[in-house]
Amino acid sequence: MALPDLKFASPLIDEETIAGAAEVLRSGHIASGPWVQKFEAELSRFCDGRPVRALTSATAAVEVALQLCGIGPGDEVITSAQSFFTVLNMIVKVGAKPVFVDCELVTRNIDLGQVEAAITPRTKAIVPTHYPGALADLDALYALAERRRLRVIEDAALVLGSRWKGRNVGAIGDLVTFSFHPNKNITSIEGGALVVNSDAEAKEVEALRFHGIRHLADRTRDVAFPGGKFNLPDVNARIGVAQLARLPEFLAKRRALADRYFARFASDPACVLPPRPESADGGQSWNMFCVLLPLERMTMSRRDFREALETRGIATGVSYEALNLCTLGRRHGGRDGQCPNAERIARETVTLPLHAAMTLADVDRVCAAASEVIAAARG
């Protein structure tokens, strides 16, 4: 099968940014340096002055955030079963127990009622994953966390540029992680960031991302905790700085594409669409557009549907499998029927192309193809 010409994700990196990356390479200073500091400063400004530290990935940011909270063996961390594998992997990696709760079907956000019911004396943190289209209720989330004395690590990998009551995600709250993977709202090729609460926490992150090394007064070094090697190279940060400057442009394009999806997407039987924003931009950043296929009323599987679109040159994805039902999740208490909404999403979800390199005509093409394939498979 030929590769689809309409890609699932396609970052926009202009010639000026490419030239800037080349300048960093020629400078000889290609590990963490002045561009990382600039990138962190720009991200901090974006988050209303909160300290931000760049890392090699959002995965590293989640791991470091858990370590920053002192979470380890014997502790429990509550998270939604509807998320990427990163959150589960890192909870298990630090030695803690993942506790799965369900999500809301349409918004896909963590069910805070189930979170409260799942809290035990061993619970140390809540890790919600924000979805494009609607953020988790941050007021309710933090009221619960404060009442129960829990840390919050927001997985904001998908929503850089989304806003809560007029403020950027990351500008409020506890710990917040971002992703700069090529399929996210901006990219540094690979990269991530962690928003923290104080300079003291930022210093702790600096040690955790670089072997756990602390510098002593006699100019020697010491390690008291087994940190990782997660420092972002300057060449990546140079790209990140340029991309962050273009974020408003990218967000406007993504919102226009999402609006077009809502205006043109129609199928019989009907798919379940993401929540439609109430205002022109809705405060949402629209990293992806996910639908739930009406498989019970279709004579084809999700795989058949995806392959049918691929034969028409359209790439798709799956966002996401249910964490409680993957092999690792089952090993840590996950079971069938535990999280009905997350499990339904896992069975029926398809992620359609949505990225800043697309045109409105591309969206029309996807909508027409999806409608045609679903209609032909009507049971």
Residue 175: inside a domain = yes
Residue 325 and residue 260 in contact, taking contact as beta carbons nearer than 8 Å: no
Residue type for 97, please? K
Mean pLDDT on 46-57: 98
Mean pLDDT on 160-177: 97
Domain count, the chain: 2
pLDDT for residue 283: 87
Residue 337 has pLDDT above 80, yes or no: yes
Residue 319: inside a domain = yes
pLDDT for residue 29: 85
Shared-domain flag, residues 204 and 346: no
Residue 33: inside a domain = yes
H or E stretch covering 117:
helix 112-118
pLDDT for residue 155: 98
pLDDT for residue 268: 95
Shared-domain flag, residues 234 and 254: no
Confidence of residue 367 (pLDDT cuts 50, 70, 90): very high
pLDDT for residue 282: 62
pLDDT for residue 277: 78
pLDDT for residue 279: 62
- Residue-range definition of the domain harbouring residue 103: 15-245
Confidence of residue 379 (pLDDT cuts 50, 70, 90): confident
Shared-domain flag, residues 71 and 197: yes
pLDDT for residue 28: 86
Shared-domain flag, residues 251 and 225: no
Confidence of residue 281 (pLDDT cuts 50, 70, 90): low
Shared-domain flag, residues 229 and 345: no
Residue 162: inside a domain = yes
Q: Among the three residues 203, 229, 245, which one is the final residue of a domain in this structure?
A: 245
Least confidently predicted of 85-99, 187-201, 265-279: 265-279
Shared-domain flag, residues 354 and 230: no
pLDDT for residue 358: 97
- What does the radius of gyration of the chain's CA atoms come to, in whole angstroms? 21
270-299 residues labelled b (16+ CB within 10 A) or e (exposed): ebebbbebeeebbbbbbbbbbbbbbbeebe
pLDDT for residue 213: 96
Confidence of residue 133 (pLDDT cuts 50, 70, 90): confident
Shared-domain flag, residues 214 and 343: no
Give the tokens for residue 171.
């500008």
Residue 7: inside a domain = no
How many CA within 13 A on the CB side of residue 31? 4
Residue 126: inside a domain = yes
**Residue 165 is among the residues annotated as catalytic for this protein:** no
User: d(Cα 47, Cα 49) in Å, to the nearest integer?
Assistant: 6
User: d(Cα 295, Cα 310) in Å, to the nearest integer?
Assistant: 18
Place of tokens 């988050």: 47
Residue 299 has pLDDT above 70, yes or no: yes
Confidence of residue 280 (pLDDT cuts 50, 70, 90): low
Q: What are phi and psi of 220, to 5 degrees?
A: -100, 180
Shared-domain flag, residues 212 and 71: yes
pTM of the model: 0.96
Shared-domain flag, residues 275 and 227: no
Residue 1: inside a domain = no
Residue type for 136, please? A
Shared-domain flag, residues 265 and 232: no
Q: Among the three residues 194, 226, 245, which one is the final residue of a domain in this structure?
A: 245
Mean pLDDT on 322-339: 98
Give the tokens for residue 121.
């004396």
User: d(Cα 141, Cα 3) in Å, to the nearest integer?
Assistant: 42
Q: Among the three residues 245, 272, 297, which one is the final residue of a domain in this structure?
A: 245
Shared-domain flag, residues 268 and 366: yes
Q: What is the DSSP letter of 47?
A: T
pLDDT above 70 covers what percent of the chain?
Answer: 98
CA angle 44, 50, 52 (to 5 degrees): 55
pLDDT for residue 3: 78
Looking at residue 92, which CATH number applies to its domain?
3.40.640.10
Question: How far are the Cα atoms of 154, 273, 281, 337 from residue 351, in angstroms, in the given order?
Answer: 22, 11, 21, 23
Looking at residue 336, which CATH number applies to its domain?
3.90.1150.10
- Active-site option among 184, 203, 229, 253: 184
Shared-domain flag, residues 326 and 345: yes
Per the prediction, the chain carries an average pLDDT of 96
Residue 2: inside a domain = no
